[in-house]
Structure 1
Amino acid sequence: MTMITSTGLKLITKHPPIVAVTYIRLNNYSTNNQILNLSELKRGTGGRSSFNGVVATVFGATGFIGRYICNRLGKCGSQIIIPYRGDNYEPLRLKLVGDLGQVYFHPYDLRDEESIKKCIKYSNVVVNLVGRDWETRNFKFDDVNVEGARRLARLAKAAGVERFIHLSALNASETPNEAGLLPNGSRWLRSKARGEEAVLEEFPEATIFRPSDVYGQEDRFVRYYAHPWRRIGPLFPLWHKGEKTEKQPVYVGDVVTGIMNAIKDPDTAGKIYQAVGPKRYLLSELVDYFYRIMRKDDEWGYKRYDMRWDPFFQLRVTLTQKLSLNWPIAHLHWEKLEREHLSDDVQSDILSLEDLGVNLTTIEQQMPWEFKPWTYAIYRGQDPDEPFAAAAPPRTVNV
Structure 2
Amino acid sequence: MSGPTRRQLLQGGIAAGLSVAVTSALGESPAHASRDGIRPFRVAVPNRQLADLRGRVAATRWPSRELVDDRTQGVQLAAAQALARFWTTRYDWRRFEAKINALPQFTTEIDGVDIHFIHVRSRHAGALPLIMTHGWPGSIVELLETIGPLTNPTVYGGTAADAFHLVLPSIPGYGFSGQPTGLGWETSRTARAWAELMRRLGYTRYVAQGGDVGAAVTDNLGRLAPAGLLGIHLNLLVPALRNATVLPKNTDEEKAADAALKVFGTTGNGYLVEQSTRPETIGYALLDSPVALAAWMLDHDTDSYHKIARVFLGEAPAGNLTREHILDNISLYWLTGTGVSAARAYWESAHAGGGSMPPVTVPVAFSAFPGEIFQAPRSWAQFSYPTLSYYHQPVRGGHFAAWEEPGLFTAELRAAFRSLRAL
Same fold, judged at TM 0.5 (above)? no
Structure with a larger share of its residues in helix: 2
- TM-score, normalised via structure 2 length: 0.27
Structure with a larger share of its residues in strand: 1
Larger Rg: 1
